[in-house]
Structures are given as C-alpha cells and as structure tokens.
Amino acid sequence: MPTIFIFFGFRFLFYSNDHEPVHVHIVKDDCEAKYNVKPLEQIYNHGF
C-alpha cells in the first residue's frame, strides 16, 4: 500500500487495486479511518 505522505505520525495511504470512489486510508498506531476524496466524507473511523 503506497503511502501518500506522513503528517505528525498519521500515514495517508491508498491501495493500488482498490475500488471506486477514490478514497484514502489514514492510519496511526492501531487506529484507522477512511475518507472519500470527492465529495469529502468519512466512511469509517476505528479508534480515532
């Protein structure tokens, strides 16, 4: 899974063979969230 960037320990990444719509995963420690890019909306949040 390619990392887009790391900001204060939060890793923003995507899966190259993932499904539409375009979205990013945000991971830090044992927490993860997923956001659609356009329109910007939260899909899930586990632990943040």
Q: What is the pLDDT of residues 1-48, one digit of tens each?
A: 789 999 999 999 988 787 888 899 999 999 999 999 999 999 999 999
From residue 40, alpha-carbon distances to 20, 23, 29 in Å are 14, 9, 23
d(CA 19, CA 5): 21
Number of domains in the chain: 1
d(CA 2, CA 16): 7
Identify the pLDDT of residue 18: 79
Identify the pLDDT of residue 13: 93
Identify the pLDDT of residue 19: 83
ω before 39 within 30° of 0 (cis)? yes
Contact status, residue 25 vs residue 37, Cβ threshold 8 Å: no
Range of the domain at 35: 3-46
Q: What is the dihedral sign for C-alpha 2, 22, 47, 11? A: positive
